[in-house]
Amino acid sequence: MLSLSKIKWLKSLGQKKYRKQEGLFIAEGDKIVKELLTSSMEVKGIYGTAPWAGDVSFPEGIVPEIITDKELERISSLNSPNQALAVVKIPATNTDSIELKNRFTLVLDNIQDPGNLGTIIRTADWFGICNIVCSPDTAELYNPKVIQATMGSFMRVNVFYTQLEDFFGGIPKDFPVMGALLEGENIFRTNLPTEGIIVTGNESRGISSPIKGFITNRLFIPRGAESTEQPESLNAAVATGIILSNLTNQG
């Protein structure tokens, strides 16, 4: 049985302040927790219902704490808690280690919505993007809503937070930096680079002015021929998906 102080501690990890303090975050659900057990992430604790835990073979050193459905409900941040919850160590990151050559890297400039961030990470994973560099004001990766929306992709894509001006200051000269802008070139008609950075901007304000200055390839996702001029923009995750699909499926 979970003690009240344990419940309180687990619930505190729902807040950024305590995640930062403890260096831990929570991931939930049967599939994600099972994947975590075989991933490179450091799992610090597993809380699962008896039928769930009975079906899982745990690696050495990991002993699940068996909890009731009621207890899971108390500690879960999901509307429909799903059998298990893991406490995981937040890995250290260092933007110096990001390899840019011969691949595509995503830069997020102030993505606010946790669901959008999670969906972008999931989409990046599908298209084989290893690294995502986020402005400090982008939503926090370890927010439970972000983790959930990644559908497990947080285990496979590296996400970094840094001042974007500093990041762009350190990239090779003439390295392609793409961004979707209304005045850009039709992504279906222009020659696309085979390596580079793709910048996705804020949901309502787009790419910020200082960051626009770093863009070398302005791209535009054309509206359909039947569309009016009224829709102003695409959702940030949808636009990112369309750009990545075109970049990774050339030739």
Is residue 231 close enough to count as binding a second copy by CB under 8 A? Answer: yes
Q: Residue 153 or residue 162: which is nearer to a second copy going by CB?
A: 153
Residue 80: exposure state from Cβ atoms within 10 A (0-12, 13-18, ≥19): exposed
Is residue 57 close enough to count as binding a second copy by CB under 8 A? Answer: no
Is residue 232 close enough to count as binding a second copy by CB under 8 A? Answer: yes
Is residue 242 close enough to count as binding a second copy by CB under 8 A? Answer: yes
Is residue 27 close enough to count as binding a second copy by CB under 8 A? Answer: no
Is residue 129 close enough to count as binding a second copy by CB under 8 A? Answer: yes
* Two structure tokens written together for 37: 């057990």
Is residue 130 close enough to count as binding a second copy by CB under 8 A? Answer: yes
Four-CA torsion 19, 22, 23, 27, nearest 10 degrees: -50
Is residue 80 close enough to count as binding a second copy by CB under 8 A? Answer: no
Provide the sign of the torsion angle of the four alpha carbons 15, 16, 17, 22, taken in this order: positive
Please list every residue from 183 through 222 that binds a second copy, using CB under 8 A: 186, 188, 221-222
Please list every residue from 143 through 162 that binds a second copy, using CB under 8 A: 149, 151-153, 156
**Binding residue (CB under 8 A) for a second copy from 127, 161, 175, 220:** 127
**Cβ 158 to a second copy, closest distance in Å?**
13
Distance CA 64, CA 209 (A): 49
End-to-end CA distance of the chain: 58
**Cβ 115 to a second copy, closest distance in Å?**
6
Q: Residue 164 or residue 219: which is nearer to a second copy going by CB?
A: 219
Q: In degrees rounded to 5, what are phi and psi of residue 12?
A: -65, -25
Candidates 148, 146, 114, 154; CA nearest to 30 is 148
**Cβ 25 to a second copy, closest distance in Å?**
20
Q: Which amino acid is at 108?
A: L
Please, how many CA atoms are within 13 Å of residue 235, restricted to the half-sphere of its CB? 9
Distance CA 37, CA 42 (A): 9
Query: Which one of 49-57, 86-94, 133-141, 233-241 is the stretch in contact with a second copy (CB under 8 A)?
Result: 233-241
Instruction: Return the biggest CA–CA distance within the chain.
Output: 61
Is residue 238 close enough to count as binding a second copy by CB under 8 A? Answer: yes
Q: Residue 31 or residue 89: which is nearer to a second copy going by CB?
A: 31
Given strand 84-89, what is the order of strands in its sheet?
24-28, 84-89, 43-48, 65-66
**Cβ 107 to a second copy, closest distance in Å?**
17
Is residue 227 close enough to count as binding a second copy by CB under 8 A? Answer: yes
Point out which residues bind a second copy (CB under 8 A).
Answer: 103-104, 115, 119, 122-123, 125-130, 149, 151-153, 156, 186, 188, 221-228, 230-235, 237-242, 244-245, 248-249
